[in-house]
Structures are given as structure tokens and as C-alpha cells.
């Protein structure tokens, strides 16, 4: 398969364009279905979670440190701490565990 990279770039651009323009052209009115509205509301959060959680576990030298930082982050976020404090506590957890594990 000795295809030009420009063919692949064109196909990628066309698919990306269609994904963004088809909903605008096919859906004219306001969406009234509560199910579809709630589904579309949570799509960005799910996408961010799917990209973030595997990176949390694989970004550290020891996967156990990443898992511990994830648990620490969830616990302190659940208790109402801010984003900065949760991030600092999670980073400190990874640092301390990697000092002892690696």
C-alpha cells in the first residue's frame, strides 16, 4: 500500500468536517427529548474522563502510585477541596510513593 499521505489527510479532514456540520444541518429545531439532552450534556465529561483516567495510571513510574493518587484525588475532591489542593495532594502522593517504591 503505497498511498499518498495527502489522500489520508483529505479523508480525515472530510470526516471531521462532516461530523461537525451534519448535526447543524439535520437538526433544525430545539431538541426536546430529555434523554438526548442529558446524554449530550454529559458527553464532554465522559470524553475527558476517558482520556484522563488511563493517563493517571500510566504516567507514573509505578502504576500503584498512580492508582493511589487517583484514590487520594477522588477522596479529597469528594470532601470539597478545590482543584489546586486536590492536584497538590495527588502529586505529593505520587512523589512520596515513588520515592519508596522505585
Contact 98, 62 (CB under 8 A): yes
Q: How many CB atoms lie within 10 A of CB 69?
A: 26
- Do the beta carbons of residue 50 and residue 37 sit within 8 Å? no
Q: Is the pTM of this model over 0.85?
A: no
pLDDT digits over 85-98, tens only? 999 999 999 999 99
Chain segment 7-35, per-residue pLDDT in tens: 999 999 999 999 989 888 888 888 888 99
Whether the Cβ atoms of residue 70 and residue 62 lie closer than 8 Å to each other: no
- Rounded CA gap, 26 and 7, in Å? 27
Amino acid at each position: 500500500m503505497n498511498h499518498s499521505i495527502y489522500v489520508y489527510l483529505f479523508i480525515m479532514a472530510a470526516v471531521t468536517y462532516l461530523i461537525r456540520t451534519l448535526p447543524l444541518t439535520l437538526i433544525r429545531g430545539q431538541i426536546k427529548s430529555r434523554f438526548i439532552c442529558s446524554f449530550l450534556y454529559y458527553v464532554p465529561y465522559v470524553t475527558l474522563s476517558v482520556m484522563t483516567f488511563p493517563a493517571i495510571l500510566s504516567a507514573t513510574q509505578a502504576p500503584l502510585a498512580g492508582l493511589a493518587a487517583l484514590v487520594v484525588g477522588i477522596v479529597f475532591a469528594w470532601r470539597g477541596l478545590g482543584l489546586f489542593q486536590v492536584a497538590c495532594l495527588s502529586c505529593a502522593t505520587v512523589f512520596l510513593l515513588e520515592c519508596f517504591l522505585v
